[in-house]
Chains A and B, each alone.
Chain A
């Protein structure tokens, strides 16, 4: 299967103030060497805690942050090397659903204008625009009345549908979803999740889905990547990750009831969980663990690397 999006060795940093202002600023790496491949037609879910860099990966694909090192290839084109005009052309093929729809939707614009906005650069005929709006509202089970409403008149679930409508109105092939259901109630969350699943089948979309909630990701994703402190620690088919997780961090995510009170992630050690991992080796603190491939999934952990080395000699 050909991959629609390929991220190679991605590094992104933010500049943050240190202590009081007089000490100046320092660079903090949000994403440290992420490789990710999204095959056509698949839903890839990225799971991780807050501050793990999962949203930053999406921002790097969208061009909201500066990519310091690495490549982001969309359909074979390296997005990091494009000029802004060329980028807009490509960006039409990537839809984006933000986490907080009420902040992403202009409160002063009617829903109709919000939906028309992404179509403006395409220069469509008037009746074609009309048709697309009605189509997209119908696919998302929205009453055409909402066209003339403002954001404040709609409920949270409806706003999220509008945000999805705006993302798919340009008929993209890749949809980036940044925690699309984390602010919704459970009953509304189920509506949106079911709708996203139907939408993917009907429109043959590819999803890159980011969430901190492994339950939500497991419902929607075919493949799951687990990220901790800006590094992917395990990636594989959803079934496999959920039923036989390999990395200790994935294991705690899947059984959060067993979490003790103090679990912290560290930016300083080579493996982010080295401070509390019961499997820790000396190497974990100093050297970046290698990828160990098991079938079509991999885990980044010294324990498995050492084990496979041993079995090679035996």
Chain B
């Protein structure tokens, strides 16, 4: 399979008062073409930072290291970032909060046509309007939405409008940064099934960032679980959720309530470490019930266990 996104020892950090604060360190990531690749983790684990690095949306004060290759083009080479021709054309991002992507003073139709005119300057007015309506029906929005302003739409409709806006340049890679977190439990599934369908029909490669296990299960093919800026477990969604190997994922699944089981939830003691305060050794060891001496001083590497990759000394002999 062709790798569309390939990261080699990718590091992303932000400048702090004295030193650089590395959020993501030595990340090796490979996303195959035409799949939905999920980055799952709790807040502050660096999943959005990875997403922004791939979408080329890192702020100027961010520092990078290592390499990131998108469709054969090196876009991050140490601290140089070269996203011209990639950002907003080949890679697009669906934001967490759709209001931040929509202009409050323009109608949805107006915003879409403006974007279409920019990307396809040769189209006539009639063709632009046709394409706009086509995109609206693609995300299952009514024609009436063309003349509405963002404040007249509900949360789910706004998210649909933001998705249609992201599809304008006919991208190859879509980074969806928690597209469902602002919505309630059942609207989440309508948006995630919309993205699932679009991914198939448009042959997109989708990087799906979420903290919601049920959405990751529902929408994604490959799931990588991120903890403290590192991938701790990587594999097919059904494999890793049915038989979790890494203690973090195992505990996380046992800490998630499910409507059909009334088993007592497991408390994971402590909180996820914020960037800059990652512990020595395995990053999960202060909260891990299976901790032994080696975990405290030496960090395990991501190694292959059966049908997945796990970063844990218990499987890494």
A contact set with B: CB distance below 8 Å: 19, 49-51, 155, 157, 185-191, 193-194, 212-216, 218-219, 242-243, 252-254, 256-257, 259-263
- The residues of A that contact B255 with a CB separation of less than 8 Å are 186-187, 189-190
- The residues of A that contact B184 with a CB separation of less than 8 Å are 49-50, 212-213
Select from chain B the residue with minimum beta-carbon distance to A243: B260
**Contacts A186-B211, A187-B251, A261-B194 given: A50-B187 contact, CB under 8 Å?**
yes
- The residues of A that contact B42 with a CB separation of less than 8 Å are 185-187
Which of B188, B214, B265: most chain A CB closer than 10 A?
Answer: B265
Distance (whole angstroms) from the CB of A230 to the closest CB of chain B: 15
Distance (whole angstroms) from the CB of B189 to the closest CB of chain A: 4
The answer to whether A49 and B187 touch across the interface, beta carbons within 8 angstroms, is yes
Distance (whole angstroms) from the CB of A179 to the closest CB of chain B: 10
The answer to whether B186 and A219 touch across the interface, beta carbons within 8 angstroms, is no
Select from chain A the residue with minimum beta-carbon distance to B287: A187
- The residues of B that contact A188 with a CB separation of less than 8 Å are 271
Distance (whole angstroms) from the CB of B138 to the closest CB of chain A: 11
Distance (whole angstroms) from the CB of B130 to the closest CB of chain A: 22
The answer to whether A185 and B190 touch across the interface, beta carbons within 8 angstroms, is no
Kindly state the separation between the CA atoms of A269 and B265 in the bound complex, as whole angstroms: 40
**Further pairs besides A191-B268, A218-B258, A257-B189: 10, Cβ < 8 Å:** A185-B42, A185-B272, A186-B255, A190-B265, A190-B266, A193-B257, A212-B185, A218-B260, A219-B265, A259-B189
Flag whether B115 is at the interface (Cβ < 8 A): no
Contact with A along B249-262 (1 / 0, CB 8 A): 00110011111101
Flag whether B193 is at the interface (Cβ < 8 A): yes
The answer to whether B271 and A193 touch across the interface, beta carbons within 8 angstroms, is no
Kindly state the separation between the CA atoms of A19 and B152 in the bound complex, as whole angstroms: 8
Flag whether B264 is at the interface (Cβ < 8 A): yes
Chain B interfacial residues counted at CB < 8 A: 37
Kindly state the separation between the CA atoms of A219 and B265 in the bound complex, as whole angstroms: 9
B contact set with A: CB distance below 8 Å: 42-43, 140, 152, 154-155, 183-190, 193-194, 197, 211, 213-214, 218, 251-252, 255-260, 262, 264-268, 271-272
The answer to whether A259 and B190 touch across the interface, beta carbons within 8 angstroms, is yes
- The residues of A that contact B154 with a CB separation of less than 8 Å are 51
Select from chain A the residue with minimum beta-carbon distance to B41: A185
- The residues of B that contact A185 with a CB separation of less than 8 Å are 42-43, 211, 272
The answer to whether A260 and B193 touch across the interface, beta carbons within 8 angstroms, is yes
A-B interface contact total, Cβ < 8 Å = 97
Select from chain B the residue with minimum beta-carbon distance to A197: B264
Main secondary structure of the interface of B (DSSP, over half): loop
Select from chain A the residue with minimum beta-carbon distance to B264: A194
Kindly state the separation between the CA atoms of A224 and B92 in the bound complex, as whole angstroms: 42
- The residues of A that contact B262 with a CB separation of less than 8 Å are 218-219
The answer to whether A213 and B185 touch across the interface, beta carbons within 8 angstroms, is yes
Q: Can you list 8 A-B pairs, Cβ within 8 angstroms, ordered by A?
A: A49-B185, A51-B154, A157-B271, A186-B213, A191-B268, A212-B185, A215-B257, A263-B186
Select from chain A the residue with minimum beta-carbon distance to B196: A261
The answer to whether A219 and B257 touch across the interface, beta carbons within 8 angstroms, is yes
- The residues of A that contact B188 with a CB separation of less than 8 Å are 256
Select from chain A the residue with minimum beta-carbon distance to B155: A50
The answer to whether B259 and A155 touch across the interface, beta carbons within 8 angstroms, is no
Contact of B252 among A186, A216, A260 (CB under 8 A): A186
Contact of A215 among B197, B258, B266, B267 (CB under 8 A): B258
Distance (whole angstroms) from the CB of B144 to the closest CB of chain A: 13
The answer to whether A263 and B268 touch across the interface, beta carbons within 8 angstroms, is no
- The residues of B that contact A219 with a CB separation of less than 8 Å are 257, 262, 265
Select from chain B the residue with minimum beta-carbon distance to A212: B184
Contact of B265 among A50, A194, A254 (CB under 8 A): A194
Kindly state the separation between the CA atoms of A189 and B186 in the bound complex, as whole angstroms: 19
The answer to whether B256 and A215 touch across the interface, beta carbons within 8 angstroms, is yes
- The residues of B that contact A253 with a CB separation of less than 8 Å are 185-186
Kindly state the separation between the CA atoms of A216 and B265 in the bound complex, as whole angstroms: 11
Kindly state the separation between the CA atoms of A214 and B261 in the bound complex, as whole angstroms: 12
Select from chain A the residue with minimum beta-carbon distance to B152: A19
**Contacts A186-B42, A186-B256, A242-B260 given: A194-B267 contact, CB under 8 Å?**
yes
Distance (whole angstroms) from the CB of B193 to the closest CB of chain A: 6
Kindly state the separation between the CA atoms of A187 and B257 in the bound complex, as whole angstroms: 11
**Contacts A50-B184, A212-B184, A219-B265 given: A187-B272 contact, CB under 8 Å?**
yes
Distance (whole angstroms) from the CB of A253 to the closest CB of chain B: 6
Select from chain A the residue with minimum beta-carbon distance to B254: A190
Kindly state the separation between the CA atoms of A185 and B178 in the bound complex, as whole angstroms: 13
**Contacts A155-B271, A213-B185, A253-B186 given: A242-B194 contact, CB under 8 Å?**
no
- The residues of B that contact A155 with a CB separation of less than 8 Å are 271
The answer to whether A187 and B268 touch across the interface, beta carbons within 8 angstroms, is yes
- The residues of B that contact A49 with a CB separation of less than 8 Å are 184-187
**Contacts A194-B265, A214-B185 given: A262-B190 contact, CB under 8 Å?**
yes
Kindly state the separation between the CA atoms of A213 and B184 in the bound complex, as whole angstroms: 7
The answer to whether B185 and A256 touch across the interface, beta carbons within 8 angstroms, is yes
- The residues of A that contact B266 with a CB separation of less than 8 Å are 190
- The residues of B that contact A212 with a CB separation of less than 8 Å are 184-186
Contact of A193 among B43, B259, B265 (CB under 8 A): B265
